[in-house]
Structure 1
Amino acid sequence: MTTNVMACIDGSGFAGAVCDFASWASLRLDAPLTLIHVLDKAKQPDLADLSGTIGLGTQEHLLEELAGLDEQRARLAKEQGRLMLEAARERAVKDGVNEPTTLQRHGELVDTLVEFEPHTRLLVLGRHGEDSDSAFAHLGSHVEQVIRAVHRPVLVTLGEFKAPQHIMLAFDGSATTRKGVEMLAQSPLFKGLSCHLVLVGADTDDNREQLNWAKTTLETAGIHAPARIVAGDVDKVLGQYQQDNHIDLMVMGAYGHSRIRQWLVGSTTTAMIAAAKAPLLVLR
């Protein structure tokens, strides 16, 4: 089965970075690129909800006019999405991608992405959708929902695209981050890059052993892997390390050790996505 890099395109200011990051990943992975725009039905008004307020029968002509406006609005939204996808396709071609494909779907964003999960190798989306006013506003619910629902790596972008050279893996010895180390070692996405390993915690024999395993695994694969154990609050330590070491891309597991987090995005992951000053790859 062919698996694609899937990029979510919308009308936000992040769409350009999403397209560029997805193109970069598509080329490095030698995987097809699919650009998708979802017309979210949740944003469309339900005229049935208005009938009681207006007074069905006495104001029936107003409902008919509203229905006509709703149809026109839906056509315009579809055309706007088509134009955004075409612009993204042209941008991806300029980035060097051969024959990117475009898809437009009606429905819930999360449900649509889950539907395409079997065909997805990497999902790329902006930290905030087109309804967000600020790049550093509260983390949009869609991002959290996607990370919970889609069992594929999710690359959350922000700002302008810059081809990553120095990445950082937040390592805690959990099964998720051990799997993440193995993924990094095997993936052509990170070939030739430096991968900083950061374990936030006490400098114990067990933590050193875990970190040495990760370092050896990456270096055996030919990846330069500086490794450090740092005490402190996880989100603050990782954010400061990113800034001090000019990290272009941070990598985290969506869940830690706790079984209850099977149903919730890990609080550290959520905090890091909201506060990050660099794109973040979330592993599942």
Structure 2
Amino acid sequence: MKHVIACIDESRIAHAVTQYATWSAQRLQTPLTLFHVLDELRYPVNSDMTGNIGLGSRESLLEELAELDERRNKLALEHGHHLLEAAKSHAEELGATDVHLRQRHGDLAESLGTLEDELRLLVIGLHGTKTCDSDRLGHQIETIVRNVRRPILAVPEQYKAPTNVMLAFDGSDVSRKGVKMLAESPLFVGMPIHVVMVGAATADANASVEAAVSHLQEYRHQVSYEIRAGEVESTLRDIQQERNIDMLIMGAYSHSKLRQLFMGSTTSKVLSRAKTPVLLLR
């Protein structure tokens, strides 16, 4: 059975990650897995320090350093376990009933890649332990988005249960997939949906958006839409603020105007300035 998987670390944003992941798992009626990875660069499994000790140094010094590394890694594992247990308790307080814990040692993106077969939705924080007090993104987000081929919900530090969503639609295969997912997913049942296309309101653009709206309405969604000219990131942000939208949904790496979101500085602008969750589709 596929799971909602939430990436848990020691940052403040892990609290919101747990909340959004629990909300998602409950609406999807899916098990929740809380996942913590010990960075292999900070906590190498085996340290070979023979090249760092000069000739004549005592062998006991090497042994002592190795013991210190082993102890450090053991403490990191225990710390990770406590983080997961605290997140589990929080999730259960919010009503989660099927919660699993996993901890691995290695690279986060690579570790997530091995779980794709059981991954329905990945929930990650927009900021990490070193970026919570800034507009900078967590340093692993771009790598994760590029490598994990499942929907990714990137969330801010403050939790608010979503009550409406906005789909950034451009007529591409990815955005049409987004329409299908929105229409059929229990994640969005009962939520008003606003479909937005950024660009010129040509006949083709209108026809494309209206087809998307029609498909959503077939599944009894309350749908509104608009086409607005402008720069993609700022236009999406303006519309979201004007309409008090709780969640932005957009495709990653689409071959259209929205492609710039994941090919340059606009990517960082959208995610780093996000005050609400952003659901990325592949």
TM-score bucket (shorter structure): over 0.9
Q: Report matched runs for 1:9-88 at 5 Å.
A: 9-44=8-43, 47-48=47-48, 51-58=50-57, 60-88=59-87
Q: 1:88 to 1:229 in 2, by over 3 A?
A: same
- Written as runs of structure 1 = structure 2, the 5 A alignment for 1:86-105 is 86-105=85-104
Q: CA deviation at 1:266?
A: 3.9
What corresponds to 2:127 in structure 1?
A: 128
Distance 2:212 2:132 in 1: 39
Aligned position for 1:222: 220
Report the 3-state secondary structure (helix = DSSP H, G, I; strand = E; otherwise coil) of the residue aligned with 2:41: helix
Corresponding position: 1:232 with 2:230: yes
Q: Is the 8 A contact 2:126 2:156 kept in 1?
A: yes
Match of 2:167 among 139, 161, 169: 169
Task: Identify unmatched segments of 5+ residues in structure 2.
Answer: none
Say if 2:22 and 2:91, in contact at 8 Å, map to a contact too. yes
Q: Secondary structure at the match of 1:42?
A: coil
Tell me which of 197, 207, 210 is aligned to 1:209.
Answer: 207
CA-CA distance at 1:65 after TM superposition: 2.4
Kept in 2, the 8 Å contact 1:5–1:25? The answer is yes
Alignment-mate amino acid for residue 174 of structure 1: S
CA contact (8 A) 1:156 1:279 kept: yes
CA distance in 2, matches of 1:53, 1:195: 60
Identity of aligned residues (%): 45
TM-fit CA distance, 1:47? 4.1
CA distance in 2, matches of 1:54, 1:93: 50
Over aligned residues, Cα RMSD in angstroms? Answer: 1.8
Matched, 1:280 2:278: yes
Q: How far off its partner does 1:84 sit? A: 0.7
Would you say the 8 A contact 2:190–2:221 is kept in 1? yes
Check the 8 A contact 1:47/1:63 in 2, yes or no. Answer: no
Kindly indicate whether the alpha-carbon contact (under 8 Å) linking 1:198 and 1:227 is maintained by their aligned counterparts in 2: yes
Equivalent residue number for residue 146 of structure 1: 144
- Cα distance in structure 1, aligned partners of 2:51 and 2:31: 49
Counterpart AA for 2:114: E
Q: Hey, what's the Cα distance between the residues in 2 that align with 1:209 and 1:266?
A: 27
Instruction: Give the 4+ runs in structure 1 shifted more than 6 A.
Output: none
The aligned amino acid for 2:125 is G
Aligned residue for 1:43, secondary structure, equals: coil
Structure 1's unaligned 5+ residue stretches are: none
Deviations 1:127-152 (A, max 9, x none): 12223352422x23311111111110
1:243 aligns with 2:241: yes
Number of residue pairs the alignment of both structures matches: 277
Structure 1, residues 187-240: CA drift from partner, whole Å, max 9, x if none? 000000111111110111111111111111112211112101111110011111
Deviation at 1:62, TM superposition (A): 3.3
CA contact (8 A) 1:251 1:283 kept: yes
TM-score, length basis structure 1: 0.92
DSSP 3-state at the match of 1:226: strand
Secondary structure class of the residue paired with 1:227 = strand
Paired position in structure 2 for 1:158: 156
Counterparts of 1:22 and 1:187, CA distance in 2: 15
